[in-house]
Structure 1
């Protein structure tokens, strides 16, 4: 597939009045822009029919493989408007490489980094009016995804696949301020096992987390914390939608090692920034027993979660069967808030991008 996604503009765009009303309070994932990127892959011809066209429903045969065997993957990244009106992506190459890795794991065709970037860039250019103003609060969330659109029943890789990118304006993840969340430590459910799809960004992982998320809410918690296959006092993995990070009194920034968890972009960025905040980045196994004892004796001073949607989310309390405990004073920690602000400052162009992470689109 070549790099170009030619544009065919919609004849029925949202009115300026409607768009302004949506951008004033977009929430997250509630509204969508006027266009979408699409491309098709078949085993006979490879990638073709690439385009940017009007946002429209897909027409799928009831036997489409994705509906029966969940052969699909997705990504999530954002476009940010800077004070001078320009529009930038944050580390989109990372998303492109992870998308390719997820495709290999789900036996889907790989999309080149160039084609991934081009499809995202051209959609942002087509729907530039939907990128929120440069107030440092809103962004345009982009969702590239790929699914098996072949009509057949049978457990084998599909030979007809559809790729698409849609966009959704997003407001601040914490409209009332960053106050911190609580996690329910699940011993009933595990997120992934060795050799499974834990490192891939596929819908099945998230569907399987919903029961655990419901369990967390029933116990008065905001999100779930998954443990590894050993359960009980086993190793920490990640939250339902976010990677987990701990800060110790000794100045370490500790996060569970990769393998059965998602290689998160924000997690990776935090590890790269750690030294700038006098923290030593460490990737290793962390047990629930270590978390509980560290919270009790003060050797673990802060805990936060990292994701594209929320950037950095302070975690201030944990609850499990027969116990609960807080982290530090029960308020967001200073390193957590400083890392969050620094990443946001880079994304919105308020500080120098010394890592070369920003990618200009307009």
Structure 2
């Protein structure tokens, strides 16, 4: 990839809040991330960490008047999303950036046959004749390994299984060859076998078409299977980011380490899984310091100041060891990064 390549998605210092009675909920707090052409990037974190809000803001899908961007910028292929007109953003949706939602039953229209819905997307963005659009839709479903695509086109969403509906959503998302595909927990409601199949289809078609993917999940195992890079979010902040291998094998933020320790791999049968104590802070009254302060075993007085995402090693980390991987892309928002030796003692790291 050229060093001068423009990011498909470029979010810088984005802060966003939802007005509520008597105040506001700070949903995003200085979020910065980027997705380069052809790259598959993951965002991982607990519920309420800001993952879906980030994705919805990228396509301006939050209800108008229901939120306020207080600072920061967001660009899609170099174009300013936040200042663009609504009509222009509608043109971008589907053609430049598409989205796959968690539950296809609520994303698909239950009163329309699958063929009509897929053809409608193609005709809106490609100006195709209905016959050509239906033929293209059938070809797309065949690409998704659907055995009888002609029958699926005639079906209503409620006549299909959850896995089949999700394949239809993936086909619709790729139908206009977007530069960016945002997938918001698309495999959460699927069983393990179907989940793996959907992930393989996503990866294959993204690589084949050069489509970038922003994949949102709470599942670290899914990130390890799919993503090139990963951003870890907590309480509306990005707290760690880097290549998937670096972050999963060598987590430096205590929150990332806590998420990984909650995975069943490496835990003896019958043993309880580790859990992060406490709960996410009330973002109507966001903490002035590190948002993970009350749940972190390493917190001290320094953590009462808000850490800023910066190239590793972060402030207070001391000199890096000679064999440490410290590319510019590895970033951390923590006053006390975990040492490599600490991360390696969990018994699960490669």
Q: Same fold (TM over 0.5)?
A: no
* Higher helix content, 1 or 2: 2
* Higher strand content, 1 or 2: 1
